[in-house]
Structure 1
Amino acid sequence: MLKDKPSSTKSSFGQTLWNFCNVLIGVGSLSLPFAFKYSGWIIGLSLLFFCMVATNYSARILIKCLNYKEGLYTYPDIAMVAYGKFVKFVVLALFTFELIGVAIAFVTLIGDSLYVLFPNTSLVLLKIISWAVLAPLTLIDIKYISYVSFLGLVSTVLLTIVIIIDGVTTHEQPGSLLNPVETELFPINLRSLPLCFGFMIAGFAGHSVFPSIYLKMREPDKFTKIVNVSYTFSIIIYILTAVCGYLMFGNLAEPEITQNIMSMSNHLQILNQSIVWLVAISLFGKFPLVLDPVNLYIETHYLSKVNKWICPHYDCPLFIRFLSRMLISIIVVLISIKFPNFDRIMELIGSFSLYAVSLIFPCLFYLKLYSNNLRWWEWLINLLIILVCAILAILGTIWAFLQN
C-alpha cells in the first residue's frame, strides 16, 4: 500500500516543498496584470488573497479527508467514499476537462510566445511546428522528461525578476515602474468584472495532485507547514507580478505579460527574449505531463477494445498507443488553433473547473465525512466558501462564453 512504503523511497521536506511550489507556480501568473485590468486594485487584491487563503484551507481539509479511512489514495477515491459513484464520475469529468484545457492553454501560450519572437511567421504554422515537437514527447516515458517541468517554476520566478528590472530601467510609458501608467482602484466597467475570476484561482489550484504529493512525503505530519510555506512563496511571486505588471501597463496589459515585455522596443531585448524562450521551453516539458493521466486512463480502459476492432487478428498495443496519443495531441492543437485566445481558455478553465475541484468539492467532502465532529463555525466557514465560490464559478463561466 502506498501509505506503507519505506521512508527511504519517499520525498524529503525539501523535495516535497519543491514539488508543491512547482505545482502552484506556473503560467497562472502570466495573466494577473491582465486580470487586474478588469478588477482594479481593491477587488483584484481582495480576490487574490481570498483565493490564496481559501485554497490553503481546502488543501489541508482535503488531506484530512484522504486520511478518513485506509485505502484512499486519490481525489476520486475521496469523492467515491463521500458521495458515491456519480460524484466520482463528475470529478473524473472535471479532471479530464481541466487537463485537456490546460494542455490547450499550453499550446496557445507556446504559439503566442514564439509569435512574439517571430512576428512575421503565421501563428497557425508556429502551432503546427510546436505540435511536431510536442506529439513525440507524449510517447516518451514521463520519468525521462519530468525534470523539464522544473523550468516552469524557474521561468516564472525569473519572469518576475525581469519585469522588475524592465520597470526600474526606463522612464518611458508604458513599461515603467518609475513612471507608472494610470491605474484604477475599482473596475471601470462592472460588467467585465467576472472575466477576472478564472485568472485569480489559476495560480492556487493544484488540489488534484496534492494527495499524490502527500502520500509520497517522508514526514506527512509536516504537510501543513509545506502548504503554508509554498502558498506564502506563491502569493509573493503573484503579488509582485500583478502589481508591477499592472503599474507598468495598466489598461494596456495583454492576456500574457510576455507580450507586453516583448513590446518594449529596444529595451533589454536579449534579456526579454531569453525569458520568453524559457517560458516556451518549460511548457514543452509540462505538456506531456498534463496529458499523461488522460492518456493512461484511455489506454487502461479502452486500448484492448480498440485493438480488437483495428487489429482483430493481432495484438498491437504499441501501435494503438501511438495512434491514441497522436490523436489526442492533434485534437488539442486543433482546438488551440480554432480558439486561439489564451485569456478565454484560462477564464473558462478557472471558472468552470478550478473553483469546483480546488474549493467547492473539498469543502463538500469535509462536511460529509466529518459532519458529526464539526463545530458551528467550521460549518459556517465551509458553507461560505462553497457559496462564494459557486457564485464566482457560475458568473465567470457565463461571462467566458458571453465575452465578445
Structure 2
Amino acid sequence: MRTFGVEEEFLIVSPDSGKPLPLAGEVLRLHELDGQMTGLSRQLILTPELQQEQIEAVTHPHSSLSELGAEIRAGRTYADSLAQMAGARIAALGTSPHPVTPHATSNSRYDAMMDMFALTAREQLTCGCHIHVSVSSDEEGIGVLDRIRGWLAPLIALSTNSPFWNGADSGYASFRTQAWNRWPTAGPTDTFGSAQAYHELMGDLLSTGVVTVPDFDARLSRNYPTVEIRVADVCLNPDDTVLLAALVRALVETAAREWKAGKPADRIPTALLRQGAFRASRWGVRGDLLNPQTHRPDSAAYVIGVLHDHVRDALDEAGDDAFVADSLERILRDGTGTEQQRKAFGRRGQLSDVVAHATSLTHQLPATSYSPASGKTAQKQIDLPQRMVTG
C-alpha cells in the first residue's frame, strides 16, 4: 500500500471582521512553546509560508485513509486553537474574500523570492493543498508524472474554493489557480520520458537564476521519495481533502502500473492541458470540463465519472472506493467550497459572513473516516488535550 500525506495552507483571520492577520510568527511561537510543554507539536506539524497571514499544517505519511483523515482534522483543530490564543482563527480559504496587503515572512528563501518576483510575490496570498504519494524510485515517479498529466484538471474542479479576490467575486470557481499561474514555472508540464531528462531540466532551470524550486502542477519531491501533486485549492470541508488524497493515491498507483506494463504516456500538448485547467478553474463542477480521454468538453459529472472509473481498481484494492463514490456524489450534488462561499455571501452580501462560515466549517465538522471493514462511514475521535481544543 502506497503511503500518502497532505500539506494544507490556511488563512489566519480576525474572528470579528474576517480580515487576514499577520500572526504566523506568533502562532508558530505558541506551537514551539506547546511542544516544550506537552510534546504535541512533535506529533502535529505546523510550518511558515510566504506570507505572515497564512500557516501550513503537514501530516505524517499514512497508509490508511482513516488515519490520514484523522490527522488532517487534528491539524486543523490544533492550528485553530493556537490561532485563538493569538486572538485569531484559521480559515480554509483558497484566497481572502477581503482585500489585503500581505506581510512577507522574512528568511533567506522568501527574501530572495520577494526580490526576484516583486509584485507577483508581494500580492501572492493563496492557500493550496499539496498531496504526496510514495514512489519506489525517481524512474517510477517520472513514469507517474508523465501519465497523470491529463487527470489533474478534474482535481482542480473538485477542490475549487477561491471565488473571491480583492473584495469581489472573481467569476472563477478557483481564482487561486489564476493567481498561482503568475509564477514562471507554474502549471502543467511536458512529458519527461526519464528521470535523467527531469533532473537535466531541473539543472537547466536552476542555471537561469530565476527559480530554485519549480512550481509545476506535479513534481518529484526534493525531500521525500514521493510525487507531489499541487493543483488543488485548500478545501473548505476536510472530507474533500480526504477525497482528494484518495483519488491522488489511486491515480499514482494506476499510472505506476501503466508505466510498469510499458503503456505509453498520453502526449497531449501542454497547451491543451492549460485549457483543461482553465475550464476547471473557471467553473469547477458547475460547467463543462475537458475529458482526459478525448480532450473535448463534457459535463463535469461525466468527466468526474470517467476519472472515478479510471482509478476504480486501485480504490477497490485500498478499500477506499465506497468513501470516494459517496464523496463524489455529494460534491456533484452540493458543490465545493466555492458554492458554500457564494451562498454565505448571498445571505447578506457581507464578506465577513463568508469568512465566519468558512471558519466554522474548517475545524468544527465531526471527525469521520471510511471504515473498509464495515463499508460505512465511521466516527473517529481526535484525542487532543482539552486546553488545545478550547484555546
- Asked if TM exceeds 0.5, the reply is no
Length-normalised TM-score, structure 2: 0.26
Q: Highest CA radius of gyration, 1 or 2?
A: 1
Q: Give the structure, 1 or 2, with the largest relative contact order (CA under 8 Å, sep 6 or more).
A: 1
Indicate the structure with greater helix content: 1
